Structure 1
Amino acid sequence: MSFDNAYDALTEADGDQHWAFGTGFDDPLSGVDRTVPASVSTQDLSTYCLMLGDDALILSQRLTEWCSRAPELEEDVALANIALDLLGQARLLLTRAGEVEGNGRDEDTLAYLRDEHEFRNVRLAEIDCGPGPGGDFATTIARLLVFSTWRLAVFTRLTTSADPVLAAIAEKGVKELAYHRDHAAQWTLRLAGGTEYSRTRMIAGLDQVWPLVDELFTTHEAEHALPGVAVPSSEVRADVDAVLAQVFKAAALSTPEVAPMSPIAGKTGRDGVHTEAMGYLLAELQHLARSMPGAQW
């Protein structure tokens, strides 16, 4: 049977499951009890979901900046798919944050209508190392390696969370994050073991992201307040360090010796204090939704 365009073919094959338009996927939370566990603070749970959701949303936005600009076509597709994985995690977590909060805010409201100081992502996710001026592919790989290794360690523990929604999100996420980590590790080996220039760029990329690594392992008060539900960030440091040490050994790289970025007045990204790059990122991310209030697409 012939079709006028590819979209007709897709809709004919899948009936009403128009996956090309972003629908028809399996719901990882189907059948999961969404009731907040007894004795769990809804405010702390909402904050924790915002933290994890914002991490994914902001890094997803950064990775999409490489679309059509990656060093090779296959990598263009790979980074886009990683960005989509993180966006999917962000949607689930922001939805959970909104429903637990109980103020009627959904995933779109939380993504598009919050101001900079209301975002709770780690600063590592927001720094600009994209394809524009000052950007660098090796730095993007260095960040992805650190971020995905850390997030995979957190999500692995979250699969046993007392909150069934968080546990279900984590169970889906660990499969995605394992790929993200391995993809970044392979590129780290490739760049470090390539030309003298590519190795220099990989070392420089690690040096650039390393000041923001310590923040990943600083346990937030919301994590302290959710025993059995949240994963204290400090608990995963040994696991993350061990994995990174393996990658660095295979790549003949040394752990960077650079000072960590200091909190601003004792505050970090988890507290809504961000780098200069965050404002520019949100301006692009939120432009359409703020320009056309109430629009649906």
Structure 2
Amino acid sequence: MTPHTQHGLPPRARRSSRLRPHHLLRLLVGAAGALTLVLSTGASAPAVSPAVLPGASGTPAASPSDRAARPDFQMPLSCGTAWQLNTYDSGHNPALDIVVKGNTGSDAKPVLAGAAGTVAYTGRDTGAGNLIQVDHGGGWFSAYYHLKDAATAYVRVGDRVEATTQIGRIGATGSHSNDWSHLHYEQRYRPSGDGPTDEGDRVPVVLNGTQYTGVGRTWTSVTSQNCSAWANCPETYVCFYSGPNGTGTVCRSTGNSGATGCGLRRSYFNNGSEEPGYDHVQVSFGEGGGMCLHRGREEGRGNFPGDGKTITKWRWRGECS
């Protein structure tokens, strides 16, 4: 397919037009123009292929030693959620189509950036629907097709995003979605670093250090590890973090008091969930004094002044005294 370069657009997602989770019939046009009928079963296999497969242009993708360091790509979906990944036929692989585990309803689920970067392109294509490209630096890009909303509902070109930044929602836009809500996802590498990229720059997808590639492959349950440091606090616990942005040592407690021995800058309580009957935590510092912190994803983050304080005890309260 010829990219829409005259408009600065990536090519249409022609390969995502055969996306149904059942046996797929496809007509392939060979180099001599002959038509070949291919039956793709979408059979699952537990292991991933080690092969580095050709990109859409038909030229071999660069070997890892020829590329800049790959970003630490994570699943472009919410922390702890389980997903089914499909590569389908040789025209679609190494792209992935991603749906909720069991394909039980993926529409409107949040789509995340998967790795830090800058939004390089947003737009709409007849086949791909609403789409976004993120530039992760060093020649690495990621692409997201069939998004439910116009990209500008969440991000704009030039916006800085983190791995956990929501950039859209899963949808079924574009004629090649076949009205089936799913995320068509690609990782791309272009040595020049110039974007936006096209499907000729596709490379096998690596998520959380595991490669998912190979014709006709299905992974039925892959759990997203795209988690911010704040998400490391189990529910029913009270958690405090030593780093400035919810990073570093995590001190946990299921009780109302106890010395932690941690010098702390910020805190986070119950991972944003409620403590039944209470909505405030009163903390006391070894250096003297204390603070009252409210539960919740935003209000539950407390900024401790200076070089941090040492928490010696805490107590869940209806209101702080």
Normalising TM by the smaller chain, what interval?
A: under 0.3
Larger strand proportion, structure 1 or 2?
2
Identify which of structures 1 and 2 has the higher relative contact order when contacts are C-alpha pairs closer than 8 Å and 6+ apart.
Answer: 1
TM-score (norm 1): 0.25
Please say which structure displays the higher CA radius of gyration: 2
Query: Which structure shows the higher helix fraction?
Result: 1
